[in-house]
Amino acid sequence: MWGPAVVSALLQLLFLIISVKILGEAAERIGIPSVTGEILAGVLLGTLFLDVETDIITFFAELGSIFLLFTAGYNEVSLKNLKFESITALVPTLSQIVFAFIFGFALGRIFDFNFLESFFLGVAFNPTSIAVVLGTLINLNYLSSRPGTAILSSAFLDDIIALFFLSVVVNFARFNRIPPVLGILIIAGKILLFLLIMYILGNYLFPRLFIYAEKMHAKEAVFSLVIIIALFSAYLAELFELSPAIGAFTGGIVLSEIPLAKLQDIQSKVYGLAHGILIPIFFAFIGFLIDPYALRNAGSFTLLVILAAFSGKLAGGFIGSKAIGFDSYESLIFGIGVMPRAGIELVILTIGRELQIINQEIFSAMVLMVIVSIIISPACMKWAIQASRRRDRGRQ
């Protein structure tokens, strides 16, 4: 069992987990989310180890991406708690989604990417990570403001739409071109069928399974069942030729209202497995995949990607907020709030790279964009909120 490959993988895994935690902590102490440190740990792995056991670490990273999305649906979202805001609250959300997509697509076209690559860029410009700015909003006591609540509403919607379009893009990739209208209908049908099956399973089969699991003598039966359903949903999505990401996310949402699956005890075990081990390895793996030479080759593309990604969200958010009556500062704050990308964005990028929709250069550039967005968004948000408050004080 303990062949040489496994032994060196063990060492590399050990190094990864240690460095991920240390660098993540260093990042948090400086004031930026630990993701940046975790990605850096992966870069370090690439430089320090000559012969990385890529297969084994890749598999851990893939599990990490599945659990990233699973916990997003399972732990971090509550459908029943979501108040349905008025329709007007949706306008800034939709506008920033549309603008981000257009900017991404246009960027692809400018650089002569084919339709599929440009479409993927548009989709990849979409997701938002609320965790990045949430700390700033809480610290500055700005969460209950109009832009604050609007940012919250868009966070959830953003991710769902991005995942939906990701499935579409993944299917387009299998055709290797844009399929005819019939193809599009079939893809939509597949997505709907998958969601329908998950809904039926989640309402009728899974609750019963949990009741049986609770009565089982086998150890940790309920926890195992949660993991089983997470992996099963990812696998089922793969069978339907959607990405495992959307499967895991749906699996998480489907489990999020079953009492036995959401016992505090079980939640903390899942969270521990996911955020303690697997997800950091996923982020480190992304760092490992970045090719700094590719970044240099990409040159101006990298810079334009960063600018386009930020301005797309900023402009879309700004215009949408203005349209429903926010003042300039509030609109700016909303735009900044939807700028940062993190977890789900990185999952989408890895899927694009795996399916060879985007090449190494685009991948590295986009990851750099994610890192930059994580670093500067909290600072920009803080500046904007303080400026807005100074202006308010000045008025009084």
Residue number, 17 or 355, with CB nearest to another protein = 17
Should residue 323 be labelled a site residue for another protein when binding is judged by CB under 8 A?
Answer: no
Q: Both tokens of residue 151? A: 């940012």
Using CB under 8 A as the binding rule, whether residue 157 contacts another protein is answered as no
| Minimum CB distance to another protein smaller for 131 or for 294 | 131
- Note whether 49 and 12 are within 8 A (CB): yes
**Closest distance to another protein from the beta carbon of 368 (Å):** 23
Nearer Cβ to another protein, position 255 or 351?
255
Q: What does residue 112 show for φ and ψ, rounded to 5 degrees? A: 65, 35
- H-state helical runs in the chain: 4-30, 34-48, 54-74, 90-110, 115-124, 130-139, 146-175, 181-200, 206-215, 221-239, 244-255, 264-271, 279-289, 292-298, 300-323, 328-337, 343-354, 360-395
Give yes or no for residue 75 binding another protein (CB under 8 A): yes
CA atoms of 154 and 137, how far apart (whole Å): 15
Binders of another protein in range 259-298 (CB under 8 A): 259-260, 262-266, 271, 275
* 327 SS3 class: coil
Q: Please tell me the distance from the alpha carbon of residue 25 to that of residue 16, in angstroms, as a whole number.
A: 14
Q: Among the candidate windows 12-20, 72-80, 110-118, 328-336, which touches another protein by CB under 8 A?
A: 72-80
In the list 70, 156, 206, 334, the residue contacting another protein (rule: CB under 8 A) is 156
Q: Is 86 in the site for another protein (CB under 8 A)?
A: no
The residue (of 81 and 300) whose beta carbon lies closer to another protein is 81
Q: Which of 19, 14, 70 is closest to 283 using CA atoms?
A: 19
Q: Which is nearer to another protein, 14 or 138 (CB)?
A: 138
Q: Give the nearer residue to another protein in terms of CB position, either 33 or 104.
A: 33
What values do phi and psi take at 298, rounded to 5?
-65, -30
> Smallest distance from the beta carbon of 250 to another protein, in angstroms?
17
User: Applying CB under 8 A, which residues contact another protein?
Assistant: 28, 33-34, 75-78, 80-83, 130-131, 134-135, 137-139, 141, 143-144, 149, 152, 155-156, 214-215, 217, 222, 256-260, 262-266, 271, 275
